[in-house]
């Protein structure tokens, strides 16, 4: 493909993304993100707004010194002190860009800048000429371009290109545009700016109406060849166009866009996690591409389709963006195919009748829990495994406990060979007494590593769920049980884990 068929990915996570309230990064953190962006193979990294603070200047300067394989940019208003600060901070960079801007919409010129169109034109040209003293790579942005008069944009872009701008950016600064309108604006610039062939058309879309990715892609369809975006869509207000969405949109629908991107998509998830960790901004589960549910399927119809052929419900693979495998979430909407597939993955081999009974029990459990985990399944099918998996079962339980009374438990178990075993033991509390009695009857010698109680439901009659983790002879197993009687649930969970350890030993 020709150079015009390649879309430049300009990442502004460290500048516009960091402007998100509460997302401030120190220079070392910025450098850490920049290293990951280098691994991600973005074309340009906007490292900050050098004049805004000493910390931002340092951050830009440190990135300019270390990251050699990418264009390193700094933002600058169209005023001399900003451009000078950007030039100094970027000086160590092998490839450096000054990104200067001035507002061009009527509302910004009238109420913010209080300047007329001709003065705005003069300021823009002067800023580009000054930036050219520091670098041959200058980008000019017409702030709030989406709400600007197109004829003014045509004049300004023509003038700044003549002054030396190599990239002209068309920002939808307040997320006002819709895709058809924004695409038409880009097409108009391409058709009405005589010297546009000497510059790259760039777009920078905000997400106030949830259309930043759609607007960016519409711009590419109409001739834009640089997209400015951020990891996880971070940025002012509702954020910026999301890098992962834009890149995967261009890649998945290459049949439509017919362009190339240089991003190493396998590093996307890693970049998302790093930015989330450093900024403290969690990624919503249903976030496209990088959310925890992006490759998760719970619906039985979807799970069946994915098991038959993944492309039925996945337009990209999780491996393409750095995830592991697709996730079949077992919940109340799951079907029999996913249930059986998960059991096979866990190593269980059940007959048809056992599967039917286990599946019905699974449905009952799924109504009570949002998600059924592997340990739940293992405990659930335990009763349905063939008789070769003989086990201890709890037949009777009585506990005496109270203030000034030594807790004592009497337990009756049915042994694997059908015999009834009964015994009693004391302990530090009622649960400890039960466990001591069970150890005595089963002759179990191991260690209780973990004991967790949680409420499955609410209210006085809440169903309590107990999870234990036992270890013996180098093996570790979990046990889980639920009951409105927490002592009973504790005993059944403990016995469940012992049975699994005994079976593992055999």
Provide the domain limits for residue 264. Answer: 3-279
3-state secondary structure of 205: strand
Residue 140 has pLDDT above 90, yes or no: yes
Same domain? 338 vs 397: no
Q: Which of 35-39, 111-115, 164-168 has the lowest mean pLDDT?
A: 111-115
Mean pLDDT for all residues in the chain: 87
In a domain, 353, yes or no: yes
3-state secondary structure of 209: coil
Residue 390 confidence (pLDDT)? 57
* Residue 124 C-beta-side C-alpha neighbours within 13 Å: 30
Residues 209-250 pLDDT 10s: 999 999 999 999 999 999 999 999 999 899 999 999 999 999
Count of beta carbons in the 10 Å neighbourhood of residue 367 = 9
Q: Which of 13-22, 88-97, 428-437 has the lowest mean pLDDT?
A: 13-22
Same domain? 168 vs 265: yes
The confidence band for 464, taking pLDDT boundaries of 50, 70 and 90, is confident
Q: Which of 264-278, 381-395, 464-478 has the lowest mean pLDDT?
A: 381-395
pTM of the complete model beyond 0.85: no
Same domain? 271 vs 308: no
- Identify whether the C-beta of residue 165 lies closer than 8 Å to the C-beta of residue 201: no
Residue 368 confidence (pLDDT)? 61
Residue 284 confidence (pLDDT)? 86
Residue 416 confidence (pLDDT)? 85
- 9 by Cβ neighbours in 10 Å (0-12 / 13-18 / 19+) ranks as buried
Residues 471-489 pLDDT 10s: 998 888 888 887 778 899 8
- Identify whether the C-beta of residue 103 lies closer than 8 Å to the C-beta of residue 143: yes
Boundary residue ending a domain (350, 384, 418): 384
- As for how many domains the chain has, the answer is 3
High-pLDDT (> 70) share of the chain, %: 83
Same domain? 264 vs 232: yes
Residue 484 confidence (pLDDT)? 74
Please compute the mean of the pLDDT values over residues 343-362 and round it to a whole number: 72
Residue 435, domain CATH: 3.30.160.270
Angle at 354 (CA atoms; ends 348, 358), nearest 5 degrees: 80
How many whole angstroms separate alpha carbon 177 and alpha carbon 489? 58
Same domain? 128 vs 235: yes
Boundary residue ending a domain (229, 254, 279): 279
pLDDT greater at residue 330 or residue 362? 362
Radius of gyration of the chain (CA): 32
The confidence band for 307, taking pLDDT boundaries of 50, 70 and 90, is low
Parallel, antiparallel or unpaired: strands 44-48 and 447-455: unpaired
Residue 228 confidence (pLDDT)? 98
Sheet holding 464-472, edge to edge: 447-455, 464-472, 475-483
- Identify whether the C-beta of residue 230 lies closer than 8 Å to the C-beta of residue 17: yes
Residue 1 has pLDDT above 50, yes or no: no
Give one DSSP letter per residue of 399-440, joined into a string. EEEETTEEEEEEEEEE-TTS-EEEEEEE-SSHHHHHHHHHHH
In a domain, 410, yes or no: yes
């Amino acid at each position: 493909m020709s150079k015009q068929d390649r879309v430049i990915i300009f990442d502004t996570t460290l500048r516009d993304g960091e402007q998100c309230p509460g997302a401030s990064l120190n220079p070392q953190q910025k450098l850490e993100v920049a290293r990951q962006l280098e691994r991600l193979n973005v074309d340009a990294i906007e490292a900050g707004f050098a004049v805004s603070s000493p910390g931002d200047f340092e951050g830009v300067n440190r990135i300019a010194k270390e990251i050699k394989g990418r264009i390193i940019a700094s933002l600058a208003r169209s005023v001399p002190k900003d451009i000078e600060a950007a030039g100094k901070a970027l000086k160590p960079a092998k490839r450096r860009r000054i990104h200067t801007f001035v507002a061009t919409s009527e509302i910004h010129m009238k109420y913010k800048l209080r300047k007329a169109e001709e003065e705005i034109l003069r300021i823009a040209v002067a800023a580009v000429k000054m930036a050219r003293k520091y670098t041959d790579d200058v980008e000019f942005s017409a702030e709030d371009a989406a709400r600007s008069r197109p004829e003014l944009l045509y004049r300004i872009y023509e003038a700044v290109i003549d002054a030396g701008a190599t990239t002209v950016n068309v920002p939808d600064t307040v997320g006002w545009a819709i895709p058809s309108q924004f695409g038409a604006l880009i097409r108009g610039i391409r058709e009405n700016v005589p010297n546009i062939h000497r510059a790259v058309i760039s777009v920078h879309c905000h997400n106030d109406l949830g259309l930043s990715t759609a607007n960016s892609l519409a711009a590419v369809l109409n001739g834009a060849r640089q997209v400015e975006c951020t990891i996880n869509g971070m940025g002012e207000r509702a954020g910026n166009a999301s890098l992962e969405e834009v890149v995967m949109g261009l890649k998945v629908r290459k049949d439509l866009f017919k362009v190339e991107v240089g991003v190493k998509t396998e590093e996307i998830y890693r970049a998302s996690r790093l930015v989330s960790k450093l900024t403290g901004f969690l990624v919503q589960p249903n976030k496209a591409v990088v959310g925890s549910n992006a490759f998760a399927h719970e619906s039985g119809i979807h799970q069946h389709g994915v098991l038959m052929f993944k492309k039925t419900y996945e337009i990209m693979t999780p491996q393409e963006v750095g995830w592991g495998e697709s996730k079949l979430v077992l919940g109340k909407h799951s079907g029999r195919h996913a249930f059986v597939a998960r059991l096979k993955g866990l190593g269980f081999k059940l007959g048809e009748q056992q599967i039917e009974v286990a599946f019905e029990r699974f449905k009952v459990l799924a109504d009570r829990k949002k998600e059924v985990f592997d340990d739940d399944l293992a405990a659930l099918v335990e009763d349905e495994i063939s008789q070769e998996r003989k086990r201890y079962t709890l037949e009777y339980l009585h506990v005496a406990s109270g203030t000034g009374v030594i807790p004592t438990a009497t337990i009756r178990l049915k042994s694997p060979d059908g015999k009834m075993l009964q015994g009693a033991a004391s302990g530090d509390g009622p649960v400890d007494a039960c466990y001591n009695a069970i150890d005595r009857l089963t002759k179990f010698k191991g260690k209780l590593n973990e004991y967790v109680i949680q409420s499955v439901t609410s209210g006085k009659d809440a169903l309590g769920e107990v999870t234990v983790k036992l270890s013996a002879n180098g093996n570790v197993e979990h046990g889980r049980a639920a009951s409105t009687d927490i002592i009973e649930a504790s005993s059944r969970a403990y016995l469940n884990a012992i049975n699994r350890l005994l079976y593992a030993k055999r």
